[in-house]
Structure 1
Amino acid sequence: MGFASDTKGYSDFRRRVKRVDPAFHRWGEGARLKDATASRPTASALAGFAWAYVVISVGSNRQLLEASLREGNLSPLAQERIMMALVALLMASVILFAIHAVRYWLGSGGKKRNSGGLLVGAMGALVLVYTPTSVWQTGFGMMDDNSQSMFLTAQATLSDALPGVDLGSVSFVSSSGR
């Protein structure tokens, strides 16, 4: 048997495989692999919420961040590099959210469910941050007396557990007390 007859037989075999199973012809064993990604939509939603909340907080408080950096002992070059790193974080986050959106629309199995959970969590953070105060107050006003008293009791219990702490005026400071 010569070399020519072996390649002719192989090409004939490949042609028949292509006709019978085009996916196997193109991808080989990879055509039969199933998505083995574990589905964790709740954990993904919580991670998406936290991730989006941090990104929104950093993106919307640029002046506060710059003022805080100016008050510290860092050199102007270090301050500039920190701000550039934060901008890189924001850009990378936008790109990764876009990748998860594409993964949700085109994916399957656990990957799709995890990306969907992450996007739902991110949308929850957007809703929480950008909902006007008047909407929250209107919603509280629409509750019945029992529900309102339950929220007010929870607030009073929290105030009793943490006396003298006004959670509305909490601010972050550096370890050096500045």
Structure 2
Amino acid sequence: MAPAKTLEDIRREQEEIAENLRVVMQHMEMEGEDFDAVLELYTDDVVWETPSRGQVLRTYDEIREAYRQMGASMFIRSRTLLRRFATDHWVVDESLWHVTLIDDKIPNLSYPVGTELSLRKLTLFEMRDGKICREINHTSYRPAGDPRLDHDDIPAEAFTAVAVAAPEPASA
């Protein structure tokens, strides 16, 4: 049987949870704008994975390039935070994104430029000492509005951020 937690143990655990949530919130807010600032939130030995596209990245340069490719290829029309919760070692972030592909720089994504997609994202952040040591992005890519596939149960408390204006797609 594990020893009982003291009030100090519980307080410390709650502080770690709050810090982990703050770091992930900061990550999500800066993700498409300041790649170097996002990298500062990672440990030196970070592992960044996107299993649906076969990516496992282990260096800041690889991760920075992946963010640049995504940023250059997707116009994010809206992001809806569905759920975010944490423990002292993990943060779970679930969101729904509506994007338009404006270039074809994202590896292993088989939709043409101009396609509007609905992305259901479940991101797991493993945390160590207030930094992200592993990020696992499970993403389902679906054509937006597809009556067979584009269905989501949005919680009443979900928050949506909407883009102001869309850029023109890249020329072929």
* Structure-1-length-normalised TM-score: 0.24
* Structure-2-length-normalised TM-score: 0.25
Of Structure 1 and Structure 2, the greater strand share is in 2
Of Structure 1 and Structure 2, the greater helix share is in 1
Higher relative contact order, chain-length normalized (CA < 8 Å, sep 6+): 1
Greater gyration radius: 1
